[in-house]
Amino acid sequence: MYSKSILLVEDSATTRALIRAVIDEMGDFNTVEASSGFEALKLLPTQEFDLVITDINMPDINGLELMNFLKNNQRYSHIPLIIVTTERSEEDRKRGMALGATAYITKPFKADELQEVIKKELQI
């Protein structure tokens, strides 16, 4: 059995693969990938997630809109949220934290930084 389930929302396939590789390195996680906000909305009801990692700047709906949805839904409001941002998009990061993100990570990041944040959020 997988110990924890993570939903990873990111529209760049390469970034997604890299983050996934970093997570896989940590052990046996069930990482589910979504390439867009819409896909995330579809995947959310299919299983219980322990953590959501999302990019902010995406087509269709952006990360902030996705987070707002999660935070205002009883079923999902408890899930910790990590936002992936860039050093430039400080304004969007502030907005994300105001909306209830529990942590953020700035691209480019180091593998152990991301692992630290994930461990902290999952309390492992």
Partner 1 sequence: MNASKKEFIAEAEELLFESQQLMLEIQETYKTALNPDDVNALFRSMHTIKGLSGLFGHKGLSQFSHALESLLDEIRLGKIEVTDEVIQFLFKNLDILRSVVDLFRDEKEQDVTEHIKQIESFRKSKKGQVHGPGIEDMIDESITKVLSEYEEVRLKANIKGGKGIYLLKAVFDLATFDTSLDKLTKMIKTKGELISTLPTSAAVPEGSIGFNLMFAAGKQLNELKEEMKHEIEVLVPFKQGEPQPEKSQESSLRSITSTVRVDIDKLDRILNTIGELTLAKGAIKRIGSEMTTTYGHSTLVLDVHKISQTLERRLTELQDQVLEIRMVPVGQIFSRLAQVIRRYSKETGKEIDLEMYGEDTELDKHLAEEIVDPLMHLVRNSIDHGIEPVEERISKGKKERGNVVLKAFQKGSHIVIEVTDDGRGIDIEKVRKKAIEKGLLEPDVELGESEVIDFIFIPGFSTKEAVSEMSGRGVGIDVVKEKLSLLGGYIEVHTEKDEGTTFTLTLPSTVTIIKALIVRVGQGRFAVPLTSISETLSIKHKDIQTIEWKEVYYLRGEMLPMLSVGKMLNLETDKKDRSFAVVVGFGEKRLGLLVDELMGQYEIVLKSLGDYLRGLSGFSGAAEIGRHEVILVLDVESFIESVTKQRVVSNV
In sequence order, what DSSP letters do the residues of 8-63 get, joined into one string? EE-S-HHHHHHHHHHHHHHS-EEEEEESSHHHHHHHGGGS--SEEEEESS-SSS-H
In terms of CB distance, is 3 or 57 closer to partner 1?
57
User: Binding marks (x or -) toward partner 1, 23..62, rule CB under 8 A?
Assistant: ------------xxxxx-xx--x----------xx-xxxx
Nearest to 15 by CA among 45, 56, 67, 44: 56
* 112: contact with partner 1 by CB under 8 A: no
In terms of CB distance, is 11 or 102 closer to partner 1?
11
List of residues contacting partner 1 (CB under 8 A):
11-15, 17-18, 35-39, 41-42, 45, 56-57, 59-62, 64-69, 72-73, 75, 86, 88-89, 91-92, 95, 98-99, 107-109
